[in-house]
Structure 1
Amino acid sequence: MAKILPFRAVRPTRDKVSLVASRSYQSYTQAEREARLDYNPYSFLHIVNPGYKYDKEISGKERYQLVKNRYLEFKEDGVFVQDEKPSFYIYRIVDRDNQVFNGIIASASVDDYKNNVIKRHEDTIATRESVFKDYLKTVGFNAEPVLLTYPDNAIVSGIVQQIQSHRAEFEFTTTYRDTHYLWQISEERDIKTITKAFSDMNTLYIADGHHRSSSSALLCDDLKSENQNHSGDETYNSFMSFLIPESELRIHEFYRIIKDLHGLSKEEFLIKLDTMYRIENRGAIPYKPSKPHHFSMYLDGEFYSLYLRKTNYKFKTSLDRLDAQLLFETILKPILGIDDLRNNSRIDYLSGKKDIIKLINKIDGGEFKVGFGMIPASVEQMKAIADEGLKMPPKSTYVEPKLRSGVTIYEF
């Protein structure tokens, strides 16, 4: 029984939303960030990069306080306004490839997260959880929702379609040529219907945002212990989420690129691979696998296809069938000596949605020695792994949609 509730979002005014909305800070190159900070005074990047005002890199708790200050200035200047009534928000994205994503921005229960009603498929790193919890506690808001997915539901989709028949409150197109729309749902009848529809669902799944959700749970524990009048209705008992039906979720793979062959020559490495894989040299033309348990490999200017010899590998759990785990168990750990995927500087990751040319350039340029590709994980795999209480390796999924920061803000 999932508890999904409306909340009073802080939002940019309609005339400034296209200027405020930004991608995640890390997704910009330094030149892109500087251009937006130099020429767009309304960009949300000014809030998350407050040192720009003083031409200085600022980090730690000093940065957190300045982030809060910049945010309050945006509110004081009327760039941000808080809605008077708790609402749900329908968010629609039509990307440059004409893929369409429709979901509902709402608050999700921390208790549901703790009680495994909201299930997770990825491990989190304790230090990152703690750092982000401290950040949230100081700034007092979150601007990036956790992406949750749920089984397609006729009641929810019916309301979404009905609301979308009216003019959107926000409509803006980005320089990435993605068009974003937002509708506010404040009618009590619609809110009750949506709340009831989600309460009839036994499980929701985190598709993206594991650290944001775990940090929100830690924040809730902190603020609850400090509040002698805790009632359970405080906003810190929930976290902002974007709920999207499973059929509209898009999952891409990540390439793995490794800096060396762990002391092996090319020939020795290929011979070791031959134990678990049937290997075919595909030449210089880019190759991508098309089936589970098949991998692409780029080494020394050539592509190879690797087909698992299934007689040598036993599938016991849903995690064993995940290609990212399979690659780790058969190649990265036993042959290349990478036994800690989170803390090994010899491995890096590239989104499979990006051009394979980036992988080729990094290896041909000598920065890395070998790269591996695979097909994307499926929603069914993600759910099965979460249902079994197992965890995927890091960078197993690159999930879309990606919302813009600063369009809806959740205050604690």
Structure 2
Amino acid sequence: MTSDSSLIRPFAGLRPRSTDAAAVAAPPYDVLSSDEARLAATGNPLSFLHVSKAEIDLPPEVDHYAPEVYARSALNFRRLIDDGVLCRDPRPCYYAYRLVMGEHVQTGLVAAASIAAYDSNRIRKHEFTRPDKEDDRVRQIEALNAQTGPVLLAHPDDAQAEELLAGATGQTPLADLTAADGIRHTLWLIDDGAAMARISAVFGAMPALYIADGHHRSAAASRVAASRRLAGRGGADSFLAVIFPARQMQILDYNRVVRDLNGLGVDAFLLAVGERYRVSPAAGPLRPECGGVCGMYLAGRWYRLQVRSELVPLSDPVRRLDVSVLAEQLLAPVLGISDLRRDTRIDFVGGMRGLGELERRVDSGEMAVAFAMYPTQMADLMAVADIGQVMPPKSTWFEPKLADGLVSLMLDRETG
């Protein structure tokens, strides 16, 4: 096992005053559309959406990637700092961060994660990134001279790491709020020297960390670091992260809807599906109970599909995923969809929207068929990342989401 305490480090976080935390905290920049963000921030000048989606403060016709958007973001960020809404802690520290969504609870560590570990794949990826989205995050980081959107990481299950964080959550929190979506966010300070040293040692001994959500943010941070190294500038050796135990992470289903049956009638389509899946009628909306099973909504009826076991390549961590099996056995050969990234005939529906959303989109005539997927498991994600491969598009939907604005990482004066 590799031991390297530089895998993570404490940092002097920029965060809202406790009295302003509820007003500042906002959903991640990529969860809301611009119109949704504009509505959510109405009447709240402290909302971090004015920083993360600054186009809401500009005329609607302004391109979201225009230079004035990043300039406005920097202006709004600086205003929050100058007005004392956001204050920087006087010295490096860690933070404990708890998310509560109904009965689900997860507690993680807010830290500065090593860019070097990311570049060497000790902080492991499982998705491709899009250059335009990376460019957007690079411009945002450079405009603010800060990283404000945390990357969601998972660590291999480690009882000692969980005990260390549990010990930090017994004190008065820095922030404790329930967002509009009902998710509770609680943040605690960890500034005791001995406790920070133990955290650095325990996490530093971990063989790897895994990106769950935030591939574009981490890739952009790596690009900024490389650019600054070439320019002889420092202060960009880490990226903002919240690290949770893998066993506490919650992945919801990421479902598929398809616009047409590729020229087939309903009966012919069912026959074609039956060559690869065991098809049986379902009494109502079907949420798959295990891997290898998916629900299908077609022509006003639900079906249970169970893939024929001989078609699943169990030795291949990528191809054995349910989303891969559906793509290889049904979407491509039957529906003619071979490029999930570019084909406009397919769309994806996050599990938070429920199976009713699948029914609605088919019943409306917008789509012809819907597939309810069994959620990808964390063990599958880690297995794919461990072999340096990537998962198919839209394989994971993590809930609950981290808030933007509760802690930010300033780049200047931050050193490894």
Would the aligned equivalents of 1:12 and 1:20 in 2 still touch at CA under 8 Å? Answer: yes
Partner secondary structure for residue 403 of structure 1: coil
1:32-111 map, 5 Å: 33-58=37-62, 59=64, 60-95=66-101, 97-111=102-116
Partner secondary structure for residue 353 of structure 2: coil
Partner secondary structure for residue 182 of structure 2: coil
Would the aligned equivalents of 2:34 and 2:56 in 1 still touch at CA under 8 Å? Answer: no
TM-score, structure 2 as length reference: 0.92
1:237-316 map, 5 Å: 237-282=237-282, 285-316=284-315
Deviation digits for residues 167-211 of structure 1 (CA, Å, limit 9, x no counterpart): 112112223232221111112211111111111111111111111
Aligned counterparts of 1:172 and 1:315: Cα–Cα separation in 2: 44
Aligned counterparts of 2:312 and 2:184: Cα–Cα separation in 1: 45
Partner secondary structure for residue 163 of structure 2: helix
Shift of 1:51: 4.2
Unaligned 5+ segments in structure 1 are: none
Shift of 1:55: 4.2
The percent of aligned pairs where both chains have the same amino acid is: 31
Shift of 1:26: 4.7
1:5-404 map, 5 Å: 5-28=9-32, 33-58=37-62, 59=64, 60-95=66-101, 97-227=102-232, 230=233, 234-282=234-282, 285-404=284-403
Shift of 1:115: 0.7
Aligned pair in 2 of structure 1 residues 153, 313: CA closer, same or farther (>3 Å)? closer
Unaligned 5+ segments in structure 2 are: 412-416
**RMSD after superposition:** 1.8
Aligned pair in 2 of structure 1 residues 373, 52: CA closer, same or farther (>3 Å)? closer
Shift of 1:141: 1.9
| One-letter identity of the residue aligned with 1:264 | L
Partner secondary structure for residue 189 of structure 2: strand
Aligned counterparts of 1:246 and 1:51: Cα–Cα separation in 2: 35
Deviation digits for residues 76-100 of structure 1 (CA, Å, limit 9, x no counterpart): 11111111101101011222x1211
Aligned counterparts of 1:15 and 1:179: Cα–Cα separation in 2: 16
Would the aligned equivalents of 1:51 and 1:57 in 2 still touch at CA under 8 Å? Answer: no
Aligned pair in 2 of structure 1 residues 172, 344: CA closer, same or farther (>3 Å)? same
Shift of 1:145: 0.9
Higher mean alpha-carbon deviation, 354-363 vs 44-53, is at 44-53
Shift of 1:313: 4.4
Shift of 1:396: 0.6
Aligned counterparts of 1:217 and 1:209: Cα–Cα separation in 2: 12
| One-letter identity of the residue aligned with 2:389 | L
| One-letter identity of the residue aligned with 1:117 | R
Shift of 1:64: 0.9
TM-score, structure 1 as length reference: 0.93
Would the aligned equivalents of 2:29 and 2:404 in 1 still touch at CA under 8 Å? Answer: no
Aligned counterparts of 2:377 and 2:318: Cα–Cα separation in 1: 12
Aligned counterparts of 1:343 and 1:63: Cα–Cα separation in 2: 27
Aligned counterparts of 1:172 and 1:328: Cα–Cα separation in 2: 41
| One-letter identity of the residue aligned with 1:21 | A
Aligned residues, how many?
405
Aligned counterparts of 1:180 and 1:85: Cα–Cα separation in 2: 23
Aligned counterparts of 1:12 and 1:204: Cα–Cα separation in 2: 28
| One-letter identity of the residue aligned with 1:262 | N
Aligned pair in 2 of structure 1 residues 354, 191: CA closer, same or farther (>3 Å)? same
Would the aligned equivalents of 2:34 and 2:53 in 1 still touch at CA under 8 Å? Answer: no
Aligned counterparts of 1:345 and 1:312: Cα–Cα separation in 2: 27
Shift of 1:6: 0.6
Aligned pair in 2 of structure 1 residues 56, 309: CA closer, same or farther (>3 Å)? closer
Aligned counterparts of 2:365 and 2:77: Cα–Cα separation in 1: 43
Would the aligned equivalents of 1:101 and 1:401 in 2 still touch at CA under 8 Å? Answer: no
Aligned counterparts of 2:75 and 2:192: Cα–Cα separation in 1: 34
Aligned to 1:410: 409
Aligned pair in 2 of structure 1 residues 376, 337: CA closer, same or farther (>3 Å)? same
Aligned counterparts of 1:251 and 1:208: Cα–Cα separation in 2: 11
Shift of 1:27: 3.5
| One-letter identity of the residue aligned with 1:239 | F
Partner secondary structure for residue 129 of structure 2: coil
Higher mean alpha-carbon deviation, 361-370 vs 39-48, is at 39-48
Deviation digits for residues 36-84 of structure 1 (CA, Å, limit 9, x no counterpart): 3331121112223434445444332221111111111111111111111
Partner secondary structure for residue 15 of structure 1: helix
Aligned pair in 2 of structure 1 residues 396, 16: CA closer, same or farther (>3 Å)? same
